[in-house]
Structure formats: structure tokens, C-alpha cells
Amino acid sequence: MGTTRRSFLTALPLLAIGASRSTLVSGSKTRRAPDFQTARDTIREALASGNATGVAVAVVHNGGIVWEEGFGWANREARLKASAHTPFCLASVTKPFTTTALTTLAAEGRLRLDEPANAYLGRRALRGPEAGAATVRQLGAHAAGLPSLFEMYPVGAGMHSPTPDELLAGYGTLAYPPGRLYEYSNIGYAALGVIASTLTGLEIGSVITQHLLEPLGLRDSFFDTDRTRLSRAAARYDELNRPIPYYTTATPASGELYASAHDLARFAMFNLKNLATDRHPVLSERWIDELHAPVLHGPSAGATTFGWFSGSTKSGLPVLFKDGGQPGVSTTMYLVPSANLACLVVANRTDNGDLVQTLVDHLVAAVQPEWTTPDTSMSPPRSAFSARGEYAGQWTGRLSGGQADMKFQLEISTRSGAGATFSLGDGAPSNLSNLQLEGAALIGRAAGALSAAGAPLEGAKVLSLKLLPYSRGLTGRLLASSSSPGMLAATPSTVTLQRSQT
């Protein structure tokens, strides 16, 4: 999910596939590419130790691809080797493609990025605190106030992912007023998909294909609604190196694109404004700048943009960044516009988040020796919580969203060591632990087992509460999460509370 990394037999043989480019030819000039041996050695070690299954990398510099290569297995069971042209599931690296496709509609005059999203959503309009003020741009920048969500649906298991309309009907309620705080939200991308479909009459996968993939010549890329191409794509593996049955998600616009390292390199060239001129330009430089412009700033150098995150290294070098992680997927992509440089890594293992970050750092450092992993943090630093006046006391309200609609009670005691409890419906109170402040928001955690009859959170292992003072009360979300090898779920319910009368 987004920028969160999740940790999940035998040694695998090294299968390095694809042309390793030692030189870059540009016009009549030939110049030697940087030395990427450290990255190769790191990949070899991960494959040999059984800590990776398939990996592909690419580096773009000064308008050309200076290295692209695949290693290991794209599909071990089918004996399909990974190459620079193997389509990998991108997970959340899909998001910049979605926002770019939406921006082509804006460039055509069919959409205004800073107009309220509800102007385009009709009967699927967002609800909740100040929902009418949430803009299209904020949806793509995790700044609209919508909560987090991730749900997966194994094909053939009798489970069916919701339609975009159903998803917004169940979860299209803001937990916070727009623009107030950062909350990584796939639901915002579901809303963007509905907007794109409303304007074009096409599903989001077709919009991305027609408005972006085809004009840019990204021939290895496809939205996973095209199941005919899955047999040549990378399969997904869990942290135990076991294949994960094919699945879809609740929010396709946020994470269901497949693309090769080669195609991602070409997409990076487009974002760096130096894509080869034999392709349709898709967007002018002005509109590419709109994609990269900061929307919501974090506590230091980090910011969200319309589809990306921005930040800077310790030396002040500006970067754009996007990663993705979900069962069977770890992806990372950096753009360094001032150096006309992009580096990316894709892998088909759940637990390869640290590996792909290490690799992309090696790749960038081979070109920019002063490179340090940039600061792209968005969440405010956490601080110790003591029962302050604005939070202390008894609160009563509603838990809603998805299948939930029930009374929610919260008590935060001012007595030393008394802590906090909450309850659903007529259920017994549950302890709320690890209370902290994240900026102005109160956060806490609880065990997932709940006693309320009919509570839709009973399968959760962890409950995460995040509340913000709003309109003389509290507003926020309760996120129910569970995970196991090859599986992940994070389902939100919104919480609205008013102080109880005593």
C-alpha cells in the first residue's frame, strides 16, 4: 500500500536476461555509461540466497536508456525468465499513470484539476466534512481527507471486487476536512477512475490505454482487465517464495497496471520532458509541470503532487518519487529532473521493498555520486500524548462506512495510567494503546477482536484509530488491518464524535 513497506527455499539460479547496455548512443556521439556493477552484485546475492524471485531495472540519463536488464524468474512455475520487457504488476506506481491520463482530459478542456471533485461525480458524490471542497487534484495527492483502504479478491475464490460505484457508496466519506492532513488513500484514486469514466464513457483501464499507453508506445504495458496478456507477465510471490494466486483489488485505478522496466523508463523520459519525438507528445511541458507541482507539504522537504511524491536529498537535490507495495509486488521509481535522470526497480516479491530501495539508491549513486536517499516524509513527527483538554473525557458518535453503522463510544481518562477505551454498539470496551499525537491528530491502536454483534471488523488483527479535532468534536477513521503471507486487507470506517453530556 503506497509508501508502506511490508516484511514477509532454496537458492535460485541467477538468470540475467536482456541486453546489458554498457554504452549509450545519442546521435553521432557515443559515451560510456556509469558502472552499475554494485547493483548487479546486490541482485545476484538476493537471488542466490532465495530472497528475491524476479527483478528488473532501468536507468534513464540525458534522454536515453543507459541500462535495462531483467534477472531471475518472472514466472518460476512456467519457466519464464524476467527481462527488461517483462510486464510486472506495478501496484501503486500505477497512480502516476492514472493522474497523467486524467491530466490529458484537463488539457482537452474536459476537466479542471482544481474544481471540486463532486462537480464530476454526480450521484457518487463524496460525503463527510467539507466534502464539497475536495478537489480533483487533492484526490490524486492524498490530501482530500479520504481514509486508507486495501482489499484484494483472489480470482476463482467466489469473491468479487466492488464496482467503482459500489466502492464510493461504501467508502466515499471523508474522514477529515480536505487539505488538513496527509492520509494515503486508494479511495481517492477510485474516485478519479469514476471521474475519468464519467467524462469518457470508458473504464479507467481503457482511458489509460487510449490516452497514455498507446500514444507513448508502451507496448509491454497493459491494465489487468486484459487477462489475455497475463501469461507473459510476472507472477506474484509471497515472502516465503510461494506463488500467490492471481487477484484483483478494490481500487483498480490505484494499482492494477502492468508495465515492463523498459516501458517505465520511457514513461520516465516523458516525465523528464525528453521522450523521443517520434511519439505523440500526450501533454505539453506546462501540463507535465502540473503533475509534478506540490499539493500538500509534509513537515520537512516532502510533499505530495498529483500522482507523485516530491522531496530532496541532504544536499538539496530535488526529486520526484513513487513506490508500490502489495502482496507479490515491490516497485520503486525516482526522477531527478535537474540531472535528467531516472532510476527504477520492479520485483515480484512481497518482501522486496528494502531490496528495491537499496537497488535504486545504487543506480542513482552510479550517476550522482553525492546521492543520499531523499526525504519524502509526509506524516508529522509523533509526540507523547497526555490527556489534554481537547481530547480528555467521554465521546459518543457513529462508526460508519462499508458494512458498518453503529454507535461508537470513546473514553480518554485524565487519571494517571488510566489510558483510553472504546466500544462499538453495545459491546464491551476495548483498550486503546500506544496513544500518540501525530501533528494535531490523536492516534492509537487496539487488538482486532471485537465483541460487538455484527461488527464488520471482527476478522481484523489490528485496529488503528486516527482522530482530528473538528467542529467542536472529533472526526477520523478506524482502520481494520490483517495480513498473512500472500494476503493483506485494510478496511476503514469513518468516526464522528461529540463530547458526551455529563
CATH number at 382-499 = 2.40.128
Instruction: Give percent of the chain above pLDDT 70.
Output: 89
- CA–CA dist 234, 260 (Å, integer): 9
CATH class of 16-90+233-367: alpha beta
- Confidence bin at 451 (pLDDT 50/70/90): very low
Output the pLDDT for position 387: 72
Averaged confidence pLDDT in the chain: 89
Q: Where are the domains of the chain?
A: 16-90+233-367, 97-200, 382-499
- CA–CA dist 138, 134 (Å, integer): 6
* Predicted confidence (pLDDT) at residue 261 exceeds the cutoff of 80: yes
Look-up: residue for cell 509534478? 292
Q: Is 105 exposed, middle or buried (0-12, 13-18, 19+ CB in 10 A)?
A: buried
Q: Read off the pLDDT of each residue in 160-180 and give the average, rounded to a whole number.
A: 95
Paired residues of 433 in beta bridges: 445
- CA–CA dist 187, 170 (Å, integer): 10
- CA–CA dist 330, 323 (Å, integer): 8
* Predicted confidence (pLDDT) at residue 47 exceeds the cutoff of 70: yes
C-alpha cell at 323: 513506490
Q: What is the pLDDT of residues 394-404, one digit of tens each?
A: 999 999 987 78
- CA–CA dist 237, 327 (Å, integer): 7
Output the pLDDT for position 160: 84
Q: What is the pLDDT of residues 273-324, one digit of tens each?
A: 986 545 567 999 999 999 999 999 999 889 999 999 999 998 899 999 999 9
Instruction: Give percent of the chain above pLDDT 90.
Output: 75
Q: What is the pLDDT of residues 135-148, one digit of tens each?
A: 999 999 999 999 99
For 327-461, list the strands marked E by DSSP.
Answer: 329-336, 341-347, 382-384, 393-401, 404-412, 420-424, 430-438, 441-447
C-alpha cell at 255: 494499482
Output the pLDDT for position 17: 27
C-alpha cell at 276: 523521443
